[in-house]
Amino acid sequence: MTRPGGIGNRLLAALPPADFDLLAPELETVALHQDSVLSQAGDPIEHVFFPDSGAISLMIDMANGQTVATAAIGHEGAIGILSVLGPSPSAITAIVRAAGTASRIPASRFHAAFNRSPAIRHAVLIHFRAMLVQFQLGVACNALHPVEARMARWLLHLRDRIDHDVFPLTQETLSQILGVRRTTVTLLMRKLRASGAIRSDRRGQIEVDRSRLAAAACECHGAMHLEVEQIFSTAQSRVLAMPAAAVRETDDAM
């Protein structure tokens, strides 16, 4: 089986054909429905998802019921991929925020291919580095930047992953993502609407003006984007340069 053209996920698209063929027989295309939970904190990770479209937020659930988002995932990443680091329950809850599609593979089959292929292992490393950038800058942003700028950043994250100015999002969802009260989100929406960054938000949909939203956001969105693109541009060239023999089980290069 050869890799199909036009594959949407950047991690899968970066794999040489021989390495992609290790995954292809087990990959299935599935719909990502809005608000569906792909992994639940505390549960075993049963599948690895490679989104082709849509947007997913990674959520931390606190003991008192509060939540906050730690990262956003789109076609550049994967859900459940870090399960290769060892058998353990999921530490986060992954929730679809904008519907799309994904290639799904049982975690056990992905682990087997991971052990055989340095190219797949390096793709995991690309993902890990990109996620680490989000986590590190996100921690600094949450500590240092006002909530209005943080909300604009999150709206940009979601908007850029679906590449459309109109997307489904409720104020309740935003309060969960930001870890703030619904009343706070309502006030912030008014401010962003007054500035023209948000054109409308009704019936569970929001329409944004990307350029004005970027002006309202902190510098973290741009910094994250540049860092992630640099990671992909340098690391993917190494993956693609790997020879077909990279699938040999005896090769333990990383």
What CATH number should be reported for the domain holding residue 58? 2.60.120.10
**Structure tokens belonging to residue 212:** 């004005």
pLDDT at 18 over 60: yes
Q: Is 159 inside any structural domain?
A: no
According to the model, what pLDDT value does residue 238 have? Answer: 61
According to the model, what pLDDT value does residue 202 have? Answer: 79
Q: Is 139 inside any structural domain?
A: no
Domain of 113, in residue numbers = 1-117
Across 95-124, average pLDDT: 94
What is the rounded distance in angstroms from the CA atom of residue 227 to the CA atom of residue 128? 13
Q: Is 42 inside any structural domain?
A: yes
Q: Is 21 inside any structural domain?
A: yes
Q: Provide the domain count of the chain.
A: 1
Q: Are 69 and 154 in contact (CB under 8 A)?
A: yes
| Residue 190 CA neighbour count, 13 Å, CB half | 5
Q: Are 118 and 110 in contact (CB under 8 A)?
A: no
Across 195-211, average pLDDT: 90
Q: Is 101 inside any structural domain?
A: yes
* Residue pLDDT, tens place only, 166-196: 999 999 999 999 999 999 999 999 999 999 9
3-state SS assignment for residue 170:
coil
Q: Is 89 inside any structural domain?
A: yes
Residue at 109: amino acid letter: R
| Residue 173 CA neighbour count, 13 Å, CB half | 21
| Angle at which helices 147-162 and 171-178 cross, to 10° | 110
Q: Is 219 inside any structural domain?
A: no
Would you say the pTM of this structure is higher than 0.85?
yes
Q: Is 33 inside any structural domain?
A: yes
